[in-house]
């Protein structure tokens, strides 16, 4: 309280403290009267909220099912694309395998012994016979004479 100002050697009095107070004007409330709800109104409101929640649940369930179906379709499409890529690669592998087999058969045909004999006959080669064999007779077991007339002795 700020009453100290009255006690500091002041002879003046504040008479407002002793005046009757003015009555405050009461705050006016609206003239709206709320009636108590009847049981029928309460039931109707509950039914409406129940219908709303049931319909909202149905809508959310439908949206969820549609989303799951769209996801499933998308995943099936991705699986089909990957399977087609795999099948393309397998077909390419089979084609390369068949090409490898055909190249191996052609290589075997080219290097077969009958083809080598035919090619050798065409360039004038013939099979070896006894007339082409030359025997060397040596008197001593450890010496040999070369074509140039030198004598080669083994150290055994």
Q: How far apart are CA 18 and CA 21, in angstroms?
A: 9
When pLDDT is cut at 50, 70 and 90, the band that residue 139 belongs to is low
Beta bridge pairs of residue 153: 143
Torsion of CA 70, 76, 81, 84, to 10 degrees: -160
Higher pLDDT, 22 or 66: 66
| Residue 155 near residue 147, CB atoms below 8 Å | no
Q: Which of 2-11, 31-40, 134-143 has the highest mean pLDDT?
A: 31-40
Question: In this structure, is the dihedral angle defined by the CA atoms of residues 114, 118, 119 and 124, taken in order, positive or negative?
Answer: positive
pLDDT at 63 over 80: yes
pLDDT digits (tens, 9 = 90+) for 68-104: 999 999 999 999 999 999 999 999 999 999 999 999 9
Instruction: Give pLDDT, residue 78.
Output: 96
Radius of gyration (Cα) for the chain, nearest Å? 61
pTM of the complete model beyond 0.75: no
Q: How far is residue 91 from each of residues 96, 113, 153, measured CA to CA in Å?
A: 9, 35, 70
Per-range mean pLDDT, top range of 21-25, 28-32, 58-62 = 58-62
The vertex-123 CA angle with 121 and 127, nearest 5°, equals: 40
Q: How confident is the model at residue 138 (pLDDT cuts 50, 70, 90)?
A: low
Element holding 151 (H helix, E strand):
strand 151-153
């Amino acid at each position: 309280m700020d009453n100290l100002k009255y006690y500091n050697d002041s002879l003046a009095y504040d008479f407002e403290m002793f005046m009757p107070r003015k009555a405050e004007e009461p705050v006016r409330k609206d003239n709206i009267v709320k009636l108590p709800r009847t049981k029928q109104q309460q039931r109707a409101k509950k039914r409406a909220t129940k219908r709303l929640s049931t319909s909202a649940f149905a809508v959310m369930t439908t949206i969820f099912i549609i989303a799951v179906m769209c996801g499933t379709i998308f995943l099936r499409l991705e699986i089909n694309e990957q399977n087609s890529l795999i099948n393309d690669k397998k077909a390419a592998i089979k084609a390369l395998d068949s090409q490898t087999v055909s190249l191996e058969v052609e290589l075997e045909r080219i290097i077969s012994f009958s083809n080598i004999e035919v090619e050798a006959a065409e360039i004038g080669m013939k099979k070896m016979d006894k007339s082409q064999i030359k025997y060397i007779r040596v008197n001593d077991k450890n010496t040999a004479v070369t074509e140039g007339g030198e004598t080669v002795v083994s150290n055994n």
